[in-house]
Structure 1
Amino acid sequence: MGWFLGFGVAGLVVLALALVFDGLLESIGGGPDGFLSLPVIAGFVSALGFTGAVVMGAAGAGPFVATLSGVVAGVVAGWSTWWFSRALIRSGEPAPRGEDLAGTSGAVVTAIPVGGYGEVLLYLAGQPVKYAAKSTGPVARGTEVWVDSVLSPTSVTVRPVDH
Structure 2
Amino acid sequence: MGWFLGLGIVGVVLLALSLVFDGVLEGLFDGLLSLPVIAGFVSMLGFAGAIAMGTTGVGTVGATAIGTPAGVVTGWLAYRLSRVLLRDRSGAAPRDDDLIGAPGSVVTAIPADGYGEVLVHLAGQLVKLAAKSPTPVARGADVWVEGTLSQTAVSVRPVER
After TM superposition, the score normalised by the length of structure 2 is 0.69
Task: Check 1:7–1:50 CA distance in 2 against 1; reply closer, same or farther (3 A cut).
Answer: closer
Partner AA of 1:36 in structure 2:
G
CA contact (8 A) 1:108 1:141 kept: yes
Pick aligned residue for 1:61 from 37, 52, 60: 52
Helix, strand or coil at the partner of 2:52: coil
**Structure 2 unaligned runs (5+)?**
54-62
Sort the Cα spacing of 1:81 and 1:109 in 2 relative to 1 into closer, same or farther, 3 A.
same
Identity over the aligned pairs, expressed in percent?
40
Counterpart Cα distance in 1 of 2:108 and 2:81: 47
Contact persistence 1:8–1:45 (CA under 8 A): no
Q: Which moved more, 1:42-51 or 1:6-15?
A: 42-51
Residue 50 of structure 1: how far off its partner (Å):
5.4
1:137 Cα deviation from its structure 2 partner: 2.1
The Cα shift of 1:144 comes to 2.3
Give the structure 2 partner of residue 15 of structure 1.
19
Deviation, structure 1 residue 148:
0.4
Q: Compare CA radii of gyration and give the structure with the larger one.
A: 2
Matched, 1:108 2:101: no
Corresponding position: 1:5 with 2:3:
no
The 5 A counterparts of 1:39-78 are 41-48=34-41, 51-52=44-45, 55=48, 60-62=51-53, 64=64, 65-78=66-79
Change (3 A) 1:46 1:144: farther
* Map 1:1-163 → 2, pairs under 5 A: 1-18=5-22, 28-29=28-29, 35-36=30-31, 41-48=34-41, 51-52=44-45, 55=48, 60-62=51-53, 64=64, 65-86=66-87, 88=88, 93-163=91-161
Mapped partners of 2:136, 2:95: distance in 1: 27
SS at match of 2:106: strand
**2:47 & 2:104 partners in 1: Cα distance?**
53
Q: What is the aligned length?
A: 147
Q: Distance in 2 between matches of 1:56 and 1:85?
A: 31
Root-mean-square deviation (CA, aligned residues, Å) is: 3.1
Cα drift, residue 4 of structure 1: 2.0
Distance 1:120 1:76, change over 3 A: same
Structure 1: stretches of 5+ with no match in the other structure? 30-34
AA partner of residue 114 (structure 2): G
When residues 108 and 16 of structure 1 are mapped into structure 2, their CA distance, relative to the original with a 3 A threshold, is: farther
CA distance 1:142–1:56, shift in 2 (3 Å): farther
